[in-house]
């Protein structure tokens, strides 16, 4: 039987760093990752700064036939676009995604989907009402490695999982690296480590203890250290307890000390999934892992002496790795689905709720207009 290839026509909303990486990945031949049912084309690019910026982006990616727009409104109205990739700072996700959904356009929105759970709920409701697809761009969810790890957990090889630990931290001198204006530390752009990096540690805890564990909302405890020059959070540690199973999740994020201090994963692993029969360790960074190892517990009567070291399972990525989430969007559009089962809207909202609770526990609010549900 010949498989029909479905072509997805993308509109790129914003022309910053991640828009560029994502576009590059869209243009990687799907055959390089053994995909034959989906292909991608970029039909439009919008920059809110200027048409010249959209043109420079198109030139940089060799997209001479893409339509260029100097406003996000024009992109949302473009009839040759099936789905818009929203690649603006956190502060803008709610209003930019809302614009597209209200125009009847499907949306893949960068993480975090919004600033708070109330906004995320409104986006989900709007997508449903308008019959359009919406997904948060948590790309790691779609890695073959994530699927492989999930299959090991579901198969029972780890026994029952009681704890997941994940650390997504950079070790930088924040003052010199990001100053006060960069989106990572700027409150006016909804910056801060929890929303930017903590979401990935939470992703691993949720992937194992929530998604594979029966969608149970956890009890949330946390602590946060603020970055004095802007008041954004620089180190945030979250402890979750899932009531039914009693399983615990520890989701760390930070900007001052690194989960990978030498850049060679000597401090591995960044993620540990611990069960009664053994554990899986995954090397970081949490957002782009490429290796894991399965460590079975010693059997009754077995001794550690003379045992061979456990081998890593390497899963290299033929590009940056954002194409897998794009393929998922394509399959959902092709199949008329309004959301992905792998990154569901209710799970995105649940994670936003956790981050809301963490911020509330630590008196961390964004400017009122960013927290607002007006758009
Ligand atoms: N999945 C991943 O691995 C990553 C995800 N991200 C996420 O992507 C988003 C964007 O990050 P990144 O690309 O690094 O950010 P950049 O600052 O590089 O780009 C953001 C773009 O958004 C547009 N924009 C619109 N309004 C504003 C504004 N007020 N201030 C600044 N930019 C504005 C601009 O494009 P224009 O002028 O053309 O409209 C700008 O180039 C964030 O949500 C971040 O969390 C970031 C890095 C990695
Ligand atoms: O999503 C992200 O992943 C990579 C980081 O460099 C970036 O700050 C963050 O937004």
> Residue 196: CB within 6 Å of ligand 2?
yes
Q: Residue 110 CA: which ligand 2 atom is closest?
A: 1
> Residue 88: CB within 6 Å of ligand 1?
yes
Task: List where CATH 3.30.360.10 sits in the chain.
Answer: 144-314
Residue whose Cα lies nearest atom 40 of ligand 1: it is 16
Rounded to 10 deg, the angle between the 17-26 and 51-60 helix axes is 40
Residue 340 alpha carbon to ligand 2 centre in Å: 22
* Model pLDDT, residue 1: 66
Ligand closest in space to the Cα of 114: 1
- Which is nearest to 5 in space by CA: 270, 242, 331? 331
CATH for the 144-314 domain, from 1.20.1260.10, 3.30.360.10, 3.40.640.10, 3.40.50.620: 3.30.360.10
The C-alpha atoms of residue 12 and residue 84 are separated, in whole angstroms, by: 6
> Residue 204: CB within 6 Å of ligand 1?
no
DSSP class per residue in 30-74 = GGGGT--SEEEEEEEEE-SS-HHHHHHHHHHTT-TTSEEESSHHH
> Residue 110: CB within 6 Å of ligand 2?
no
pLDDT per residue over 292-338, tens digit each? 999 999 998 888 888 888 999 999 999 999 999 999 999 999 999 99
pTM over 0.95: yes
* Model pLDDT, residue 96: 98
Q: Residue 287 CA: which ligand 2 atom is closest?
A: 3
236: helix, strand or coil = strand
Pocket test for ligand 2, best of 16, 18, 232 (most atoms within 8 A of CB): 18
* Model pLDDT, residue 131: 98
Residues 6+ apart with CB under 8 A from 231: 187, 364
Q: Which residues of the chain have pLDDT under 70?
A: 1
What the block records as the tokens of 338 is: 């309004």
> Residue 170: CB within 6 Å of ligand 2?
no
pLDDT per residue over 134-171, tens digit each? 999 999 999 999 999 999 999 999 999 999 999 999 99
Residue 20 alpha carbon to ligand 2 centre in Å: 13
Residue 325 alpha carbon to ligand 2 centre in Å: 16
Q: What is the ipTM of this complex?
A: 0.99
Residue 10 contacts residue 41 (beta carbons within 8 Å) = yes
Task: List where CATH 3.40.50.720 sits in the chain.
Answer: 6-137+330-335
Residue 188 alpha carbon to ligand 1 centre in Å: 13
Ligand closest in space to the Cα of 112: 1
Q: What CATH superfamily is the domain 6-137+330-335?
A: NAD(P)-binding Rossmann-like Domain (3.40.50.720)
- Cis, bond preceding 285 (omega within 30 deg of 0): yes
* Model pLDDT, residue 300: 86
């Amino acid at each position: 039987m010949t498989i029909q290839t479905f072509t997805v026509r993308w509109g790129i909303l914003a022309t910053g760093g991640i828009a560029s990486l994502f576009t590059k990945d869209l243009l990687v031949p799907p055959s390089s990752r053994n995909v034959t049912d989906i292909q991608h084309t970029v039909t439009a690019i919008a920059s809110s700064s200027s048409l010249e910026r959209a043109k420079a982006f198109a030139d940089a990616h060799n997209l001479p036939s893409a339509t260029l727009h100097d406003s996000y409104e024009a992109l949302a109205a473009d009839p040759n676009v099936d789905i818009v990739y929203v690649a603006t700072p956190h502060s803008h996700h709610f209003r930019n995604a809302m614009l597209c959904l209200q125009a009847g356009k499907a949306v893949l929105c960068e993480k975090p989907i919004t600033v708070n759970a109330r906004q995320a709920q409104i986006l989900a409701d709007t997508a449903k009402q308008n019959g359009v697809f919406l997904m948060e761009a948590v790309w790691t969810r779609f890695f073959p490695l994530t699927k492989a790890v999930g299959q090991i957990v579901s198969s029972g090889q780890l026994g029952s999982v009681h704890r997941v630990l994940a650390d997504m931290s950079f070790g930088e001198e924040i003052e010199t690296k990001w100053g006060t204006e960069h989106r990572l530390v700027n409150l006016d752009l909804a910056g801060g480590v929890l929303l930017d990096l903590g979401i990935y540690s939470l992703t691993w805890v949720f992937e194992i203890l929530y998604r594979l564990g029966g969608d149970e909302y956890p009890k949330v405890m946390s602590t946060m250290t603020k970055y004095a020059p802007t008041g954004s959070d620089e180190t945030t540690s979250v402890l979750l307890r899932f009531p039914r199973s009693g399983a615990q999740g520890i989701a760390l994020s930070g900007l001052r000390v690194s989960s990978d201090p030498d850049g060679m994963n000597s401090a591995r692993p960044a993620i540990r999934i611990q069960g009664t029969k053994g554990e899986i360790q995954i090397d970081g960074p949490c957002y782009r892992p490429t290796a894991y190892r399965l460590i079975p517990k010693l059997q009754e009567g077995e001794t550690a002496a003379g045992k061979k070291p456990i081998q890593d399972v390497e899963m290299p990525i033929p590009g940056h790795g954002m194409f897998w989430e794009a393929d998922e969007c394509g399959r959902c559009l092709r199949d008329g689905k309004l959301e992905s089962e792998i990154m569901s809207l209710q799970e995105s909202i649940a994670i936003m709720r956790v981050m809301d609770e963490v911020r509330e526990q630590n008196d961390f609010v964004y400017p009122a207009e960013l927290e607002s549900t007006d758009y």
